[in-house]
Structure 1
Amino acid sequence: MAHRSPILTFLLALFSVSLVVILATNPETSFQAALRGIQIWWEVVFPATLPFIVLSEILMGFGVVHFVGVLLEPLMRPLFNVPGTGGFVFTMGFSSGYPVAAKITTRLREQNNVSRVEGERLVSLATTSDPLFVIGAVAIGFFHSEQLGLTLAITHYVSALLLGLLFRFHAWTEPPSKSLYKKEVPLLLRALQEMHRARLRDGRPLGRLMGDAVETALHTLFMIGGFIIVFSVVMELLMKVNLTQTLSTVLTVILGPLGFPEDFSKSVVVGLFEVTLGAQAASQVSASISLMWKAAIASAILSWGGLSVHAQVASILSKTDIRVAPYLLARIVHAILAALLTIIAWRPLQLLVHGEKAAVPVFVAPQPTTAVPHHWWHHLSQSSLMALSLFAVLAAGSILVRKTVLKGNR
């Protein structure tokens, strides 16, 4: 492997110099792309993500995460082979989207609440798109179909759960972290005890805790914004020099014999870099292509997430010993599972969503639907509602599992 290092260094340097040259020769294109990246970050990512990161930091300081850890231990450990605190990551990640799960997992690892392997399982499981983006931006905004949003959401999150069940066997020989749960103590009482102990260990007064939470959230969000802007510029420059078209042509040669149309190759290549542009490209595939195949590609792109998101996650995880390679493998598996699940469950999901109307041809273009509002308070309220609903389901499931186990031991 050592003899490859100079070659890799040379290629990276060549790529960087090439980008600088293209940037210098296309200043207007780069400027407009940067403005679009800033707009996306400021109007969507910043207001939607800031409250969740601040809240997660405050909840950790108050010991609420330890309360959740004890409460959800009977469910999370047997299902996903992670401690109960993983339920907090699961809830926040599913409801607020990437890369919030990576940020919370990093904090848990820094506090030694999860092992390295458990952190890798958690990041792989909980790094998903948020439901408002799946339904609002992709389904309604790009495909003009609210019903398709339900299909995409179901396949996206169910495939994430399947991925979590698969990744419970990731490095399964590694010893688990210490459990906070004790069978001989009532579940709620034990959860309250751990919450109090965690709060005493933290020891920060409320003012300092809130200040630290805001400072950490802003630092993380500025990092995310930087990646969004950089990848927005890079993506635009790659399109400018027709590199994406070249990669699309190569992919068409590979996938063409398997029956994939050229338009699919273009959307896959664009989605490789950026999830929003990739999903939009999938919606613009030729009208002669079945809506099922368009939805499958869009679902795969949503589950993959794009190199921009992966760079954000890698930067966040770099503060710990959690490896990025398992996360990248998980994203590939998630994309494949989501696409396959969309194809396999297409007919049942159409019957579920449309009822008898599902008999209409799948080639018929969806009728335009009014897009959901993109105000930050709407995004925040919907994400908060989903987080509370997920926690309620997990808590109920955990209590049910514990009662079943206790009854079986009698």
Structure 2
Amino acid sequence: MLKSKLKTLVLSASVTIFAAALILMPDESLEASIRGLDMWWEIVFPSLLPFFIVSEMLIGFGVVRFIGVVLEPMMRPLFRVPGVGGFVWAMGMASGFPAGAKLTARLRQEKQLTRIEAERLVSFTNSSNPLFIFGAVSVGFFQNATLGIVLASAHYLGNFCVGLAMRFYGGKDDETIMNRSTVKKRFFLREAFSALHQTRLKDKRPIGKLLGDAVTSSIQTLLMIGGFIILFSVINKMLYHLHITTFVAAGFSTLFHLVHLTEQLSIPFISGLFEITLGSKMTSGVTEATLLHQAIITSFILGFSGFSVQAQVASILAQTDIRFQPFFYARFLHGAAASIATIIIWKPVYERFSDEQLSNAIPVFSQQNAYIWNEIIYWLKTAGPLITIVSLLVYILIYSRRMFNHFD
């Protein structure tokens, strides 16, 4: 009872302080809100929407079930999840977070995963997409396309390590896994096609209805994601101006000193725990640190994903019986694994592909790659808002039509 009352007191006090900060610092909060909105408006919405819609269609048509049967011999021994986890993993890496959480929740609702399997799967299928790592972080912040190879390699290698570690999660609690995994010992292409066909027949929605549901579901999720991006952008800004970030960073400075990292990285590290974009940008601006130290901190920030992304995942998982706690612990593991992987692969990868000696200069041979990623980012910023507007108009049209038919 006392714990519950204390929790109520802390939450109430936190919200009150946050509201007071918004009133006292309206200019800073508006600036942070606009920054978060621009990110969602220009990059997040147009880059994630096609993946979300296509994923919903693939699930409805049974293609995901087909892939699940095909990949069962690989995913089950490695990660103790069904073969459909391979589809979620690939889509999560291609489209970025929180696509893995959305697809995992969707498959759980379809009863293609048990709860323990879903908790394992969601822990290692949420990751940054290559566009963000190469385009925004490496080229946009560090002006170094070669660094993207290290960050991406360490990030996805860390993801793989989390998946291997999470296979031990659940233990004997998930008895249905063992029972189900012994039903079929051999794989036949005919069985995979049969599963695809049966799944399609089970979903009796016509193609038009299926497409409409995919659009509305995807846009609803992206609207929720946009709200969290803006909210945590403001929270991060308020914490900085209230000197809470500086206070917490002082404690981390001692820890960084013990592991021979520059103390000036502590504030960007704390900011990155809340929002990865701001944390990565601030890390790139610490001139006192070597590029290796900046890469280590950035890798942890990317692996941890930030409380902003974690809140998005928690909101998606709340629609199911999937628990958030395993995912939260896995983020620390991913951040640590990615940081260690960065240290291990730095010499064989970065120093091999670059002529730099731990500096921030741009290698000549990587300028062409930097140009490509800059072009992609520029195209998204130019066409992204138009895609967002058109998609929202389509969503409003579909939603209004359904509401009108419902009242009829």
Question: TM-score scaled by structure 1?
Answer: 0.86
Task: Name the aligned partner's letter for residue 380 of structure 2.
Answer: W
* Greater mean deviation of Cα atoms: 250-259 or 219-228: 250-259
* Distance in 2, Cα, partners of 1:108 & 1:244: 38
Task: Name the aligned partner's letter for residue 248 of structure 2.
Answer: L
* Distance in 1, Cα, partners of 2:114 & 2:297: 34
Specify the SS of the correspondent of 2:171: coil
Match of 2:281 in 1: 280
Task: Name the aligned partner's letter for residue 341 of structure 2.
Answer: L
Match of 2:252 in 1: 251
* Distance in 2, Cα, partners of 1:220 & 1:109: 17
How many residues align structurally? Answer: 373
Match of 2:239 in 1: 238
CA contact (8 A) 1:282 1:297 kept: yes
Match of 2:146 in 1: 147
Match of 2:293 in 1: 293
Task: Name the aligned partner's letter for residue 166 of structure 1.
Answer: A
1:349 equivalent to 2:353? Answer: no
CA contact (8 A) 2:262 2:293 kept: no
CA contact (8 A) 1:73 1:181 kept: no
Specify the SS of the correspondent of 1:98: coil
1:271 equivalent to 2:267? Answer: no
* Distance in 1, Cα, partners of 2:381 & 2:190: 35
* Greater mean deviation of Cα atoms: 260-269 or 140-149: 260-269
CA contact (8 A) 1:244 1:266 kept: yes
Match of 2:305 in 1: 305
* Distance in 2, Cα, partners of 1:148 & 1:133: 13
Q: How far did residue 239 of structure 1 move?
A: 1.7
Task: Name the aligned partner's letter for residue 80 of structure 1.
Answer: F
Q: How far did residue 172 of structure 1 move?
A: 2.7
* Distance in 2, Cα, partners of 1:158 & 1:366: 25
Match of 1:362 in 2: 358
Q: How far did residue 96 of structure 1 move?
A: 0.4
Closer, same or farther in 2 for the Cα pair 1:198/1:346, shift >3 Å? same
Match of 2:403 in 1: none
Extract unaligned runs of 5+ from structure 2: 385-408
Specify the SS of the correspondent of 2:292: helix
Task: Name the aligned partner's letter for residue 361 of structure 1.
Answer: Q
Q: How far did residue 180 of structure 1 move?
A: 10
Closer, same or farther in 2 for the Cα pair 1:220/1:14, shift >3 Å? same
Q: How far did residue 247 of structure 1 move?
A: 1.5
Q: How far did residue 123 of structure 1 move?
A: 0.8
Task: Name the aligned partner's letter for residue 353 of structure 2.
Answer: V
Specify the SS of the correspondent of 1:94: helix
Specify the SS of the correspondent of 2:133: helix
Match of 1:126 in 2: 125
* Distance in 2, Cα, partners of 1:372 & 1:362: 23
When the two chains are superposed, the root-mean-square deviation of aligned CA atoms in Å is 2.1
Q: How far did residue 179 of structure 1 move?
A: 5.1
* Distance in 2, Cα, partners of 1:228 & 1:180: 43
Matches within 5 A, 1:10-25: 10-25=9-24
Closer, same or farther in 2 for the Cα pair 1:364/1:88, shift >3 Å? closer
* Distance in 2, Cα, partners of 1:120 & 1:61: 22
Identical aligned pairs, as a percentage? 42
CA contact (8 A) 1:48 1:96 kept: yes
Task: Name the aligned partner's letter for residue 286 of structure 1.
Answer: T
Matches within 5 A, 1:2-13: 2-13=1-12
Task: Name the aligned partner's letter for residue 152 of structure 2.
Answer: A
Q: How far did residue 352 of structure 1 move?
A: 4.1
Extract unaligned runs of 5+ from structure 1: 381-410
Match of 1:191 in 2: 192
Question: TM-score scaled by structure 2?
Answer: 0.87
* Distance in 1, Cα, partners of 2:157 & 2:188: 28
